[in-house]
Amino acid sequence: MPYVSIMEWPADWETHLKIDDAINRALGGASPAGHVLHLAGRSDVGVRVVDVWETREHAVRFKDEYAEPAVTSLGFEPGPPSTLTEFDVEIVRT
């Protein structure tokens, strides 16, 4: 079942771009397995990211294998976002 996560961190945009670049390098420029859509932008808190995955398991694997190692490689401490909204998608319209 498709899965969506909406996350927000109190980070500046430049830091987000460094993390995003580290993840892209680790992936060799390819999309991670099961990834459908990635949206990111500035918010009142800092950075908001919306990701759509084929399954929740794909999202967890990406976090464990790519996102957290990228954050750590840049000298940051990985941790939970300030806000996190997750849900399994039951209706899709295009």
Decide if pLDDT at 66 tops 90.
yes
Separation between Cα atoms, residue 48 and residue 64, nearest integer Å: 20
Domain count, the chain: 1
Residue 94: inside a domain: no
User: What average pLDDT does the segment 1-27 reach?
Assistant: 96
Residue 31: inside a domain: yes
Encoded tokens for 22:
């580290």
Residue 94: how many CA atoms within 13 Å on its side-chain side? 0
Q: Look up the domain containing 20 and give its range.
A: 3-88
pLDDT band at 49 (very low <50, low <70, confident <90, very high): very high
What pLDDT is attached to residue 77?
85
Q: Identify the CATH number of the domain in which residue 31 sits.
A: 3.30.70.100
Mean pLDDT of the chain: 95
Decide if pLDDT at 80 tops 90.
no
Is the separation of the CB atoms in 26 and 70 below 8 Å? yes
Residue 61: inside a domain: yes
CA dihedral 77, 28, 85, 37 (to 10 degrees): 160
Between the two ends of the chain, the Cα-to-Cα distance in Å is 17
User: What average pLDDT does the segment 3-32 reach?
Assistant: 96
Decide if pLDDT at 79 tops 90.
no
What pLDDT is attached to residue 93?
92
Residue 93: inside a domain: no
